[in-house]
């Protein structure tokens, strides 16, 4: 063999005994509970925690950027189109392309992943916040002015509270979307629930795909439910209005 040319009489390796596995694992059964539970603490648990962290940072930072931009556009209407256009443009870049473009500049880092993830949250958060702020009927605002409220007071007492339901529904969409895009981030950082899925692609193993997939679905449902709950607590009047 020509490969022997390179292996100039090297030492012979000792191949260790790697033990045995269940027939479900060896035959790639649909879902091997034994393997899933055995690997939860080393594979799925940490991936889930990373997934939550990546999502919370992306949506949090995204909101801190998008909400002030929406406020700005609310007061300076001529900014609505350019800002809306910019956030929509960012939203249309395919995730894989954006991740790859950012790697030479920011490295194979969490920072690269977060820059991309944040830019995908901006459109939804910007538009929902702007819509919410604009939902206040003109006559209500004029009534406020008639009562002697300043522009700032109208914002704080009338516009922001009325904007909350729209902002919260924007947060729900952004969070659920981010939870699914974080899976793609595993192409550049070895984190999140996409990591076991990508690792399983080369030698397919059903339990790994289904386990990570189910956890991502459960996470999306839980996060959505949590935001709905917090939203209800923050807007008690909305509930009253609904029940009346």
- Residues in contact with another protein by CB under 8 A are 2-7, 10-16, 18-21, 25-26, 35, 39, 42-43, 100, 103-112, 186-188, 190, 195, 198-199, 201-205, 208
Q: Which is nearer to another protein, 55 or 177 (CB)?
A: 55
CB 219 within 8 A of CB 51: yes
CB 130 within 8 A of CB 99: no
Based on the number of CB atoms within 10 Å of its own CB, is 188 exposed (0-12), middle (13-18) or buried (19 or more)? Answer: buried
DSSP letter at 2 equals: G
Find the shortest distance in angstroms from Cβ 105 to another protein. Answer: 6
Q: Which is nearer to another protein, 13 or 236 (CB)?
A: 13
Distance CA 99, CA 89 (A): 15
Q: Which is nearer to another protein, 26 or 142 (CB)?
A: 26
* Cα–Cα–Cα angle for 235, 241, 243, rounded to 5 degrees: 110
Find the shortest distance in angstroms from Cβ 130 to another protein. Answer: 32
Find the shortest distance in angstroms from Cβ 76 to another protein. Answer: 32
Q: Which is nearer to another protein, 61 or 173 (CB)?
A: 61
Find the shortest distance in angstroms from Cβ 48 to another protein. Answer: 17
Q: Which is nearer to another protein, 29 or 134 (CB)?
A: 29
Residue whose C-alpha is closest to residue 131's, from 65, 67, 78: 67
Q: Which is nearer to another protein, 66 or 188 (CB)?
A: 188
DSSP letter at 76 equals: S
Find the shortest distance in angstroms from Cβ 37 to another protein. Answer: 13
Q: Count the helices and strands in the chain (H runs, E runs).
A: 12, 0
The single residue listed with the structure tokens 């799925």 is: 44
- The number of angstroms, rounded, from the C-alpha of 49 to the middle of its chain's C-alpha atoms is 13
């Amino acid at each position: 063999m020509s490969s022997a040319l390179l292996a100039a009489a090297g030492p012979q390796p000792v191949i260790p005994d790697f033990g045995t596995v269940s027939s479900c694992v060896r035959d790639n059964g649909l879902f091997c509970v034994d393997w899933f539970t055995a690997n939860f603490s080393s594979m799925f648990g940490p991936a889930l925690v990373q997934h939550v962290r990546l999502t919370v940072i992306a949506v949090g930072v995204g909101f801190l950027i998008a909400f002030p931009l929406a406020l700005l556009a609310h007061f300076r209407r001529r900014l609505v189109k350019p800002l809306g256009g910019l956030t929509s443009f960012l939203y249309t870049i395919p995730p894989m392309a954006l991740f790859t473009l950012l790697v030479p500049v920011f490295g194979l880092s969490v920072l690269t992943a977060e820059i991309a993830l944040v830019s995908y949250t901006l459109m939804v958060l910007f538009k929902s916040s702007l819509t919410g702020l604009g939902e206040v009927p003109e006559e209500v605002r004029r009534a406020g002015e008639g009562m002697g409220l300043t522009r700032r007071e109208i914002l704080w007492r009338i516009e922001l509270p009325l904007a909350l339901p729209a902002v919260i529904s924007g947060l729900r969409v952004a969070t659920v979307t981010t939870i699914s895009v974080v899976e793609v981030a595993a192409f550049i950082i070895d984190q999140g629930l996409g990591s076991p899925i990508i690792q399983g692609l080369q030698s397919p193993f059903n339990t790994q795909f289904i386990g990570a997939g189910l956890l991502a679905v459960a996470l999306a449902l839980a996060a959505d439910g949590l935001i709905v709950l917090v939203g209800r607590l923050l807007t008690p009047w909305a509930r009253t209005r609904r029940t009346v």
